[in-house]
Amino acid sequence: MLSKAGRLALLATKQLWRHPVRTSLTLLGVASGMFLFTTVQTMQTTLDRATRVQAADTTLVVYRENRFCPQTSRLPEYYENEIRAIPGVREVIPIKVTVNNCGASLDVITFRGVPPGQLARYAPEIAVIRGSYDDWKNRDDGALVGKQLADKRGLQPGDAFEAVGVRVIVSGIIDSPLPQDNAVAYVHLPFLQQASRHGLGVVTQFNVRVQPGEDIERVATAIDKRFKSETEPTVTQPEKAFFAQTARELIDLIGFTRWIGYGAVLAVVGLIANAVLLVVRGRVRENAILQTVGFPESAVGFVVVSEGAVLGFVGSCIGIVLASGFLAWRGLTFGNEGQTLALVPDASVMATGLGLALVLGMTAALGPAWIAMRRPIVESLRS
């Protein structure tokens, strides 16, 4: 048995579908607004995860001082052994980075050259979901491709892939809890050094993992102090702070989209309020009859607010599902200065969108509900 509130909510749904064209157009408008909001919110959440420095972070990036684009950062590979000897360092890996575009772009292809024997030890969280890790180790031109990049390019193990003047054979598709690993291709360090024509013995950066509980800032200072007088001095930062510094254009661009999200939310509120107000004005006599046969004013108001909630919730469900499917299908990745930001739909963003749309729908219907409740019965019956 439905409760009184449940029966009134069911009545509200039936009232909406008495006008299928108007209701469908309203749902389409709400879905469009929530599609935009979900996309923008996904960008904001992904950027926040990539740049917020936390106490549990243990990864440092050693880069050439006063350099930002990977093409201009060149460090001697022999720095690796000296970094490894600094107290507090747990693991270090030299990385050669080659990208097709250093500026802010939506179509970034990034190759990371690493010593094949060190990748599994440095990043044990990376899992090969298709293909073979051993095949990659044994093949000089093999590549482990992040799943997001593979999906975007339609790559499978055994396929040939060429970009940035580098031609590789896909040995495996990888998945990592770190989003940046899913948007790049890992290749052998000597192979990429020769392919990029910078020669052997030169790398772009070193990624360093410190011992758990170690003071990450102290280790960073010790590394920079060691190479301060060298011909290639370094600057060492936590990985997320490094991303925030090098990808400034990207961060400014995504920060601006926040206002687009706010605009979409306001548009949804206005659309639902207008739709419900039209419903109330077209149902003046019916509401008066309901009150005449015993429906209290609060019940009439509840029906109107429920109609706003239904429009907001159903419309947001459509918009959020479409936005999540679009982002997963397209595999969008922002890139700037060699740093990549993969846009991955997040469950928390979906839950926030659904809750927000429900509240917005109810809020937008409050005004029309007040009008419906306070209109005199006699005047309504004569209209």
Q: Does residue 287 sit in helix, strand or coil?
A: helix
What is the Cα–Cα distance from 211 to 88, expressed in whole angstroms? 5
Cβ–Cβ < 8 Å for 94, 206: yes
| 75/214 same-domain check | yes
Is residue 100 a part of any domain in this protein? yes
| 262/358 same-domain check | yes
| 222/293 same-domain check | no
Name the domain boundary from 201, 232, 263.
Answer: 232
What is the Cα–Cα distance from 268 to 77, expressed in whole angstroms? 55
Is residue 315 a part of any domain in this protein? yes
Is residue 194 a part of any domain in this protein? yes
| 193/324 same-domain check | no
| 325/203 same-domain check | no
Please count the structural domains in the chain: 2
Whole-prediction pTM: 0.70
- Kindly report, residue by residue over 266-298, the tens digit of the pLDDT: 888 888 888 888 888 888 888 888 888 878 888
| 262/115 same-domain check | no
C-alpha angle with apex 322: 51 to 256, nearest 5 degrees? Answer: 35
Cα 374 to chain centroid, rounded: 46
Q: If you average pLDDT over every residue of the chain, what do you get?
A: 83
| 108/135 same-domain check | yes
Domain that holds residue 306: 4-51+247-382
What is the Cα–Cα distance from 310 to 11, expressed in whole angstroms? 11
What is the Cα–Cα distance from 110 to 101, expressed in whole angstroms? 9
Q: What string of DSSP letters covers 57-88?
A: --EEEEEETT--STTT--EETTHHHHHHTSTT
- Kindly report, residue by residue over 286-335, the tens digit of the pLDDT: 888 888 887 888 888 888 888 888 888 898 889 988 988 888 777 777 76
Is residue 254 a part of any domain in this protein? yes
